[in-house]
Structure 1
Amino acid sequence: MHIALDAMGGDHGPEGLIAGALLAAKEADLTVSLVGDEKLLHSHFKKAAPESGVGSRIHIVHSSQVVEMSDNPVDAIRKKKDSSIMVAFDMVRRGDADAVVSAGNSGATLAAAVRRLGRLKGVARPGIASIFPTVKKPVVLMDIGANVDCRPLHLFQFAIMASAYSRSHEVVKPRIGLLTIGEETGKGNSLVKETYAMLEQSSLNFIGNVEGRDVYKGDVDVIVCDGFVGNICLKISEGLVEAAMKMLRDEIVKSLAAKIGFFLAKPAFRAFKKRVDYSEYGGAPLLGVNGTGVVCHGKSDATAIKNGILGAATMVQKKVNSEIVKTIATESVERQVEV
């Protein structure tokens, strides 16, 4: 297994990305290519590699350009053809790597994947999925921002792709919910209503509508929505966790009793923080692309990068793309027969 890591992406520079690559190589039998400015990466790598014991499985591939977080995704991949993210996907296209992981500009990562690898057969629009923690087990939500304007076919295919990804996490028959403003049939805009009809007539395990308050209940395995709604859902969730932790800290310092209570409950608070920490979930997979890619949070630390690399390797091993192509083909035939 060979993963190409965009070592120039992310908010904290190459140091944390290299540390994550070393952790992944230490934990699993894989090779990681760090793609980026060769001189810069060598200087950071020399400091970290001797302690790891896995330096021989880490390679450096030079690229002369970087896509910044502020860059327009489409313009960036058109003008910066030797950027680290483009070079990484070139490696997959040539067969030199099995997957790409990036903590850089997510729009540019998806655009580069589509430009270099194309779409899977039958896929109208690739998208980005994300894993959300719930009170039971994690749920996959798709799309989280790649496609803000969608048609019913796109949402229907998001359900197929997210279900295939969910199955790679040992969910045998993922339960699918459609995110809208009410549980009852007929609630929502025309996009939701038409998508509901398509899902209801399919062989997918569709259980009906779910509301925003149901996202964290864990009663479904997959939640489908357009990228506009999904991105808002994602950002509200991130903001809520940060606000809740800050409010909790503010209350703890108000009294001695609260401080003592916190000290006694410290293991529980630590476990809760880990449960809602995005770094534990291995990044957001690009689904529908004719290859494998994972987008990590821009603030990702070494643990998050490690989990992103391991997650990408799992997607390749579990043949998620083959599952997507097979299911799309089956559903297309079934709908044609019905018509």
Structure 2
Amino acid sequence: MKIAVDVISGDNPPEELISGVCHYISKYKDSVIIIGDEERIKKKLLLHPYERRYIDIVHTTEIITMNESPAEAYRKKKNASVILAAQLVASKEATGFFSPGNTGAALAAALFEIGKIKNVSRPAIAAVLPNIKSSTILIDAGANTECKPHFLVEFALMADVFCKKVLKLENPRVGILSNGEEDEKGSDFTKKVFELMKDIPMHFIGNVEGYDLFNGSVDIVVTDGFTGNIALKTAEGVSKTVFTLLKNEIQKSIFSKIGALFLKDNFKNLKKKLDANEYGGAPLLGIDGNVIIGHGSANAKATFNALRTLRFMDQFNLNKEIESAFSKLPETSDS
């Protein structure tokens, strides 16, 4: 197994992500292809002579920035790091790739260079969110702003396979994000999705609301990419706001500061659970190769965790399992 890593598309310097690559290699002894500025990569690897044996380098300094149009940049920047990463997967030189930064660029590169799994209509981003018990998969978290009802059925099925094979959940609970839990709630669109979901062999629990993302009552929350991305960004914003407010309150008096010292380990554990770097990134499901899209701020820890998840995706033949599940789907109609 060999994984491709784009180390120059994110906000952090490539040396930070290379540290994560080396940590991964030291633990799993897998081969990695690093895409980026060869001179900087080699200089960093002088500090890691053992891990260097497992690393190949593909040189480029071209990136697709966060404020570029993914479609236009994909056409014009053929040597962009994320495109080269996808090409390595398409040519079977790598089993998967990780790239932080421009989500649309990673999606375009994966879709047009690698292609979809057979019978999959649209790939979808599966964001992993912490809840009070473990984690919740939110799908789609931004790949498809316009959806047909049967797309959401496919998203749910891909996430169901991911949870069973990679996260080892025996019978994940699947819900549709709606404005109420009652069966009759929702828009015309979500009501159509609801009817289709009842015929799919999975643990469908019906409609769920926004707070269910975090209370541990559901394992997979399915929605369109527009709504899902808003939910994801809202969750990130609330998390940052709560920590800022808490920090401000602690600073108000000597007594609160002393109390905070006694809770230092608790705060550290909470911060770790809410840290996006603990999850590495979001798997892009439905692509005929393993792909994880990282946050622009991805660090060494995020890189290590992303590579570990890519390893599990390959180890458990995730895409073959998804293809098999789709071959058993009943014919659906959006009419």
TM-score tier (shorter): over 0.9
Q: Does 1:4 align with 2:4?
A: yes
1:285 alignment counterpart? 283
Structure 1 residues 1-339: aligned runs within 5 Å: 1-46=1-46, 48-50=47-49, 53-167=50-164, 168-332=166-330
What is the DSSP-based 3-state SS (H/G/I as helix, E as strand, rest coil) of the residue aligned with 2:48?
Answer: helix
8 Å contact 1:283–1:311 — kept in the other structure?
A: no
**CA positional deviation for 1:317:** 0.8
Go from structure 1 to structure 2 and tell me whether the alpha carbon gap of 1:29 and 1:41 turns closer, same or farther (over 3 Å shift): closer
The residue type paired with residue 102 of structure 2 is: N
Q: Distance in 2 between matches of 1:69 and 1:45?
A: 27
Shift of 1:90: 1.2
Cα pair 2:152 2:222 within 8 Å, conserved? yes
Cα deviation, residue 269, structure 1: 0.7
Q: Distance in 2 between matches of 1:265 and 1:327?
A: 47
Give ranges in structure 1 of 5+ residues lacking alignment: none
SS at match of 1:3: strand
Quote the offset at 1:64 in angstroms.
5.0
Q: For residue 104 of structure 1, report the CA deviation from its aligned partner.
A: 2.2
Measured against aligned partners, the alpha-carbon deviations of 1:258-312 in whole angstroms (never above 9, x if no partner) come to 1111101111111111111111112100100111100111101100111011111
The percentage of counterpart residues that share the same residue type is 38
Amino acid at match of 1:71: E
Deviates most, 62-71 or 240-249:
62-71
Residues 289/241 of structure 1: CA separation in 2 closer, same or farther (3 Å cut): same
Contact 1:14/1:44, CA 8 A, preserved across alignment? no
- Contact 2:280 2:298 (C-alpha < 8 Å) held by counterparts: no
Residue type of the partner of 2:63?
V
2:76 partner amino acid: K
Contact kept? 2:30, 2:54, Cα under 8 Å: yes
Could you say what the CA RMSD is over the residues aligned between the two structures, in angstroms? 1.4
CA offset at residue 61 of structure 1? 1.1
Q: CA deviation at 1:318?
A: 1.2
Q: Please list the CA deviations of residues 66-100 of structure 1 after superposition, one character each: whole Å capped at 9, or x if unmatched.
A: 21111111111111112111111111111111110
Contact 2:290 2:313 (8 Å CA) reproduced: yes
Aligned amino acid, residue 22 of structure 1: C
Paired residues of 1:22 and 1:58 also in contact (CA < 8 A): no
Aligned counterparts of 2:199 and 2:245: Cα–Cα separation in 1: 46
State the alpha-carbon separation in 2 of the partners of residues 332 and 5 from structure 1.
37
Residue type at the aligned position of 1:121: K
Instruction: Give the aligned residue type for 2:289.
Output: G
Q: Could you tell me how far apart the structure 1 residues matched to 2:188 and 2:148 are?
A: 10
Alignment size in residue pairs: 332
Normalised by the length of structure 2, the TM-score is 0.96
CA contact (8 A) 1:90 1:116 kept: yes
TM-score scaled by length of structure 1: 0.95
* Matched position secondary structure for 2:330: helix
| Secondary structure in structure 2 of the residue aligned to 1:240 | helix
3-state secondary structure, aligned to 1:331? coil
Asked whether the equivalents of residues 6 and 104 of structure 1 are also in contact (C-alpha less than 8 Å), the reply is no
Give, as a single letter, the amino acid of the residue that structure 1 aligns with 2:93: D
Report the alpha carbon displacement of residue 38 of structure 1 after superposing the two structures with TM: 1.9
